[in-house]
Homo-oligomer: A and B are copies of this chain.
Amino acid sequence: MTEHVLSVALDDAYRLITHGPTVLVSARHSGVDDVMAAAWACALDFSPPRLTVVLDKITRTRELIEASGEFVIQIPTVAQARLEHEVGSRSLHQDPDKLQNCGVELLRFDGFDQPFVAGASAWLACRLIPEVRNQETYDLFIGEVVGAWADARAFSDGRWRYEHADPVWRSLHHVAGGHFYTIGDALDVPLTQR
């Protein structure tokens, strides 16, 4: 399952989310794992790499993050569209078997005791930077990326390779309800000569 997974340099980690994909957020605390969907995740800094993610107070994942101080952001693929939508529509509060019922399989990465969702195109292991006012007032969480990996079939040499990959590897971009767009064509813009 992990034969194609490569480590990504932390200085390149922002490239995994700068194009604005919908993500999966996962966390672990005291033997409990949860995974949720989040459309509102965004890069915040290059070095150290940081990101923001909006986490509603009703989610069990948020509670696990607040308790553990850690979380994982992963970039789901077209092949995971149903999984993305299912984990975003069920709560571990109501369904203790949520992950199994949503078809989530977890991976282990050496040195990180966090739940990584198998089949994603990339994973960013984050340490929560506690900012109580942001969390309480805006549901806004800041993480520092402390580990990054990608599936080489979708991302290699510091770049997404969507234009060369099987379309099932494309990222998801949520609009509302179960309505998504996938990422599309590459577009390279040369600067005008000065």
Contacts and interface: CB of A to CB of B under 8 A. Distances in A.
Interface of A: 15, 18-22, 39-45, 50, 52, 54, 78, 81-82, 84-86, 89, 131, 133-134, 138-140, 142, 159-160, 162, 170, 172-176, 178-192
Contact of A82 (B21, B42, B189): B189
A188 B173 CA distance: 11
Given A78-B187, A173-B19, A176-B15, A41 B42 contact: yes
14 contacts: A19-B20, A19-B181, A42-B52, A52-B140, A131-B133, A173-B173, A178-B191, A179-B189, A180-B187, A180-B189, A181-B187, A182-B187, A184-B184, A184-B185
A120 to B, nearest CB: 16
B159 A44 contact: no
A21 to B, nearest CB: 6
Nearest 3 CB-CB pairings of A with B: A20-B20, A184-B184, A42-B42
